Amino acid sequence: MQRIKVAQFGLGPIGIESIKLAAEKDWIEVVGGIDIDPAKVGKSLGELSNGHHRLAEVQVYKTFEELAAKAKPHVVLHTAGSKADVAINQIKPMAQQGVSVVSSCEELLVPKFRAPKLAEELDAICKKHDARVLGTGVNPGFVMDVLPVCMTGVSRTVEHIYCERVVNASTRRQPLQKKIGSGLDPDEMRRLFKEGKAGHAGFLESLALVGHAMNWTFADTYELFEPMIAPYDIKTRFFDVKKGQCCGIHQQVVGKVDGVQRVHMDLKMYLDARDPHDAVKITGDPPLEVRVNGGVAGDMATVASLINAIPRVLKAPPGVLMMTDIAVPAWR
């Protein structure tokens, strides 16, 4: 069996876990890492991953071009940011060399939603050079979009889709606890959300993917946001949050078709959250309801979603892909 050559772009916490999982797969050959941090460039991935034996001789490069000159990958795992325009400009040089990309960038779930022109340019590059680009993850990428879409595969009719996610952020990594505003003044968090600098990234992309799959054109969409307020002092590994400060987010998105609400998604992500879970309810024929007690653990599961997508992406037609364009995700 020919192994798939894989490289990692972005060596933050998710990137490190991603490449460690890739190194465990007998069908993957890890050929390098890419990061702009001078403290990481030139080191081995083994050094950055607590001595993983299969990564001891695999080097970290400053640019994709430097890596490709030494060991051109088939696929790059991209875990560097949430913005579609930034990610697309990072990915273009890879696609131009015929290298496919699986990314955790939230806005790449539906790239045309935020960056239509850049997405069209990247799609043309992919088709010219036989490359594929996919945005995936847990949320967006599975819990509040792909899972409900798959559930409707047994529906005779669908009237309404409701998704609910409650995440105990105390168990999550430092960047996420920071992103949800831990310790900030609630009014400051509201201001940051209005400026597009806070909140859950990719929420409207989840709505767009569900609408695309259901063939619903949302004439009216809106997004609601409120900070979660700490009811008592909360201490995590990374933050000391006082009573009355922000300890998380409550975010909702709604999509309407001809004045009728078709989709409602509700996300609460906060420190010390009680009863964490994921739930999907389909109103239709037949009525369907699924609940995942404890919820899907975002950090570790995101890494798995990237790795598991690789063989399906390589079998898909060239171009910029959405999760509904590839075979149903599954563990391999």
In a domain, 331, yes or no: no
Do 115 and 224 lie in one domain? The reply is no
Residues 6+ apart with CB under 8 A from 168: 270, 271, 272, 273, 274, 276, 295
* pLDDT at residue 1, rounded to an integer: 64
Instruction: Find the angle CA(42)-CA(47)-CA(49) to the nearest 5 degrees.
Output: 120
Give the domain range for residue 225.
146-295
Instruction: Clarify whether residues 26 and 49 are in a common domain.
Output: yes
State whether 291 and 150 are in the same domain.
yes
Token readout for 121 is: 């340019």
Confirm whether 121 is domain-assigned: yes
Query: Do both 121 and 153 map to the same domain?
Result: no
Residue 234 lies in a domain: yes
Query: Is residue 69 situated within a structural domain?
Result: yes
Task: Say if residue 169's pLDDT is above 90.
Answer: yes
Domain count, the chain: 2
Q: How confident is the model over 38-76, as pLDDT tens digits?
A: 999 999 999 998 878 889 999 999 999 999 999 999 999
Using the CB atoms, write b or e for 243-282: b if 16+ within 10 Å.
eebbbbbbbbbbbbbeeeebbbbbbbbbbbbeebbbbbbb
For residues 34 and 56, membership in a common domain is answered with: yes
Residue 332 reports pLDDT greater than 90: no
Do residues 36 and 156 share a domain?
Answer: no
pLDDT at 108 (0 to 100)? 98
Q: Do 251 and 267 lie in a common domain?
A: yes
Q: 210, 148 in Cβ contact below 8 A?
A: yes
Asked if 64 and 150 sit in the same domain, the reply is no
Average of pLDDT values for 144-171? 97
**Co-location of 150 and 290 in the same domain:** yes
pLDDT reported for residue 157 = 98
CATH code of residue 74: 3.40.50.720
Q: Are residues 113 and 156 in the same domain?
A: no
E strand or H helix at 321: strand 319-321
The answer to the question of residue 330 being in a domain is: no
DSSP 59: B
CA angle 43, 87, 21 (to 5 degrees): 50
Do the domain assignments include residue 314? yes
Are 208 and 176 in the same domain? yes
Claim to verify: residue 249 and residue 308 sit in the same structural domain: no
